[in-house]
Chains A and B, each alone.
Chain A
Amino acid sequence: DAGVIQSPRHEVTEMGQEVTLRCKPISGHNSLFWYRQTMMRGLELLIYFNNNVPIDDSGMPEDRFSAKMPNASFSTLKIQPSEPRDSAVYFCASMDGGPSNQPQHFGDGTRLSIL
């Protein structure tokens, strides 16, 4: 079975540019999560969707960050304008939500470097 697919795997861009990260969740999963991982702060939840609807975006750092889930098989995380402090590894995870208390399954991340 295909896991969570993220693209691109690596992104290097200059400060001020727009960055778009993409995620395809596992088919049939109805919850999707975006995380950011840094050495200092570990894994931090940015936003999560349930049935394509944003449920909790309290982890989004500021208005420069936005996320969308136009359908059950695709989500984007956009940073505009990007800043050097946004450099991190961004992970997408999906889960079969609901009462069954399932684990989240992660993609292999996008390593973002803002110069």
Chain B
Amino acid sequence: EDQVTQSPEALRLQEGESSSLNCSYTVSGLRGLFWYRQDPGKGPEFLFTLYSAGEEKEKERLKATLTKKESFLHITAPKPEDSATYLCAVRQTGANNLFFGTGTRLTVIP
């Protein structure tokens, strides 16, 4: 059975204080690992797709990395506008649906 575990559940950072969010996964054949950002009252917004171990993707202050068992979302010098819940999801080989973790709620304090 597919499993996705995200940690920590919540993270408070001072503005400019870099950190990482973790997504550990178990899936029988990874077709893709997806990162989303969700703001209160909104739907998840797509950030990155990672396909194979060793791959990295960057967007502004965010960088996502992937190993065979986990993915990290690194946040460099965060700003208050980076405050959101970050969701990780996996897609199994041969499937179109996604299996989501429960997210990390990030708060960046000015």
| Chain A interface residues toward B at CB < 8 A | 4, 31, 33, 41-45, 48, 50, 55-56, 91, 93, 95, 97, 101, 103-109
B102 interface residue (CB < 8 Å to A) = yes
- Tell me the chain B residues, 30-78 only, with Cβ under 8 Å from chain A: 31-32, 34, 36, 41-46, 49, 51
Stretch at the interface among B10-18, B21-29, B90-98: B90-98
Q: Looking at the complex, which one of B31, B51, B97 makes contact with A45 (CB distance below 8 Å)?
A: B97
- Residues of B near any A CB (own CB < 8 A): 31-32, 34, 36, 41-46, 49, 51, 87, 89, 91, 96-103
Q: Taking chain A's interface residues, is the majority helix, strand, or loop, or is none over half, making it mixed?
A: strand
CB neighbours of B49 from chain A (8 A): 101, 103
B22 to chain A, nearest CB (A): 16
Most chain B beta-carbon contacts within 10 A, residue among A44, A55, A106? A106
